[in-house]
Amino acid sequence: MVDVNIDSFDLVPDLIGWPIALVGLGRLAGRSPWFLLAAGSAVVGLAVSALHVVGAAGSLLGLLDALSGTGVVFGTCSAIIALVEAPEPRRTANLIRWWDLGLVVVAMASLPVLGADLGALAIVLVVLALAVAVWFMVFCWKQRHRPELMAAAVHAA
């Protein structure tokens, strides 16, 4: 979901990250259909990453890559809103999902207008996207002990 590259070497390989996300979301899919949406988005992200490994490229793959990450964020946050009664996590999840979606919409809407010459807008979008990604990961980590968000097997134990 977050690419960290040094001289085109990916420090967090997507082919490792996406399956980890898929396993976790798959375990939660029975708790909310929103987790199922997030898991489906992780499948798309994994497929896109596999295509990148074999050398495929293109604007459609870039779009699918962005949408898969947004699907994971939006689905996960929506599931938290649906399952958690406490107002603070619901409010934070709502903010995260709309910030993430908004950034993707702005980026995608800007490409046809500005093309590859995004300049300063690209820098702002990348910084904001990284901030939202970190916010999302920290938020999810903080929610991990909520019984309503635990996988059925873990919850039953």
- The string of pLDDT tens digits covering residues 42-60 is 999 999 988 887 877 777 8
Strand, helix or coil for residue 125: helix
Any idea what DSSP says for residue 30?
Answer: T
Higher pLDDT, residue 120 or 80: 80
CA-CA distance, 89 to 29, in Å (whole number)?
A: 19
Q: pTM for this structure?
A: 0.84
Q: Model confidence at 11, in pLDDT bands (50, 70, 90)?
A: very low
- The string of pLDDT tens digits covering residues 73-105 is 999 999 999 999 999 999 999 999 999 999 999
